Chain A
Amino acid sequence: MISIQADDFDPNAEYQALRQSGPDTGAIATFTGLVRISGDHSGVTGLFLEHYPGMTEAVIQQLIDQASERWNILTARVIHRIGPLPLGDQIVFVGIASRHRGDAFAACEFIMDALKTSAPFWKKEINQEGEHWVEQKTSDLERSESW
């Protein structure tokens, strides 16, 4: 399940959905990302998230497919929000159900790391002085390439 949406999401509802992955579900790993104050500029009050409709969903599906080839996954759920997002808001959710924790942990971390450098989303920071596009971080590239 992939959803690109402006609305907030309920991590507990997502977790409960992952629990319905069949009788051999033995592990669920979830990640939730939040909008935080970044170190790039001062006085940031929130973000605006832009994406490339169609390609974004296709890229995330490819990441889920790649994860399914490498690890034993029963269900994957990925949600990413777009539009205006104030500080503290939930921005991204990745949840994996699998038989064993190793697969769930690895697939969840892989999808999240790869999403950050390959899914077409762009963050714009908003502060009192105006707005500016966020630059891609070298540390994110290195994490993604480490897989």
Chain B
Amino acid sequence: MTEALSDTFTVRFFARLREELGVEEMTLKAEPGLTTGRVLEQLASRGGPWSQLKNGQPVMIAVNQAMAKEATAVNAGDELAFFPPVTGG
């Protein structure tokens, strides 16, 4: 069980993206050399509402609850998050 969990990472979606994708959280398998940009490409290739991750409005990226870029590395155990530009305050 521990072995199975050790090579995965989680992806969380917030606000408009969570609603339009119909997913709050998913678990994916980590691969050597993976980046957040590559994860976005893989998810966008699912088509339908997922296409907006590469061809839609801007997507902000966080890794382990800190802002990140498309070149940021993704490792097993990481918590990724994709969300629309923030609008608090």
Contact = CB atoms under 8 A, between A and B. Distances in A.
Interface of B: 12, 14-16, 60, 62, 65-67, 81, 83-89
Interface in A107-136: 112, 115-124, 133-136
B83 A91 contact: no
A133 B81 CA distance: 18
Interface residues of A, number: 28
Contacts of A135: 85, 87
Nearest to A94: B89
Contacts of B16: 122, 133
A119 B89 CA distance: 9
Given A52-B83, A55-B81, A116 B88 contact: yes
Given A55-B66, A58-B65, A121 B83 contact: no
8 contacts: A52-B14, A54-B65, A55-B66, A80-B88, A80-B89, A119-B86, A133-B15, A133-B84
**What 8 A-B pairs are tightest by C-beta distance, nearest first?**
A121-B88, A122-B15, A136-B85, A55-B65, A116-B89, A133-B16, A134-B87, A123-B87
Nearest to A121: B88
Most buried by B among A50, A80, A92: A50
Most buried by A among B14, B60, B81: B14
